[in-house]
Amino acid sequence: TKFLEKRGEGLHHVCLEVENIDAALAEMQEKGAPVLDTQPRNAAEGRAIFLHPRGTNGVLLELLERS
């Protein structure tokens, strides 16, 4: 509800599937992307990391490795 109160209706985040979340995390860190996670977190469908919207044109981005 905080998201809706602050931003109203609309897109919350975009999820992209990756083959290897550990490699994706390392690549994002090497490139200086604003990664919100220092380690992949458990997600409903596997393991994931999130990138801060300030580095992704205002969209919260999730990278997911399905289990």
Place of tokens 């300030």: 54
Phi and psi torsions of 8, nearest 5°: 80, -170
Phi and psi torsions of 30, nearest 5°: -60, -35
pLDDT, residue 19, reads 98
Q: Which of 14, 4, 8, 19 is nearest to 67 (CA)?
A: 19
Q: Which parts of the chain sit beneath pLDDT 70?
A: none
Amino acid identity, residue 34?
P
pLDDT, residue 55, reads 92
The CATH number of the domain covering residues in 11-66: 3.10.180.10
Given a contact cutoff of 8 angstroms between Cβ atoms, the answer to whether 13 and 60 are in contact is: yes
Residue spans of the domains in the chain: they are 11-66
pLDDT, residue 31, reads 96
Helical ranges in the chain per DSSP H: 2-7, 21-30
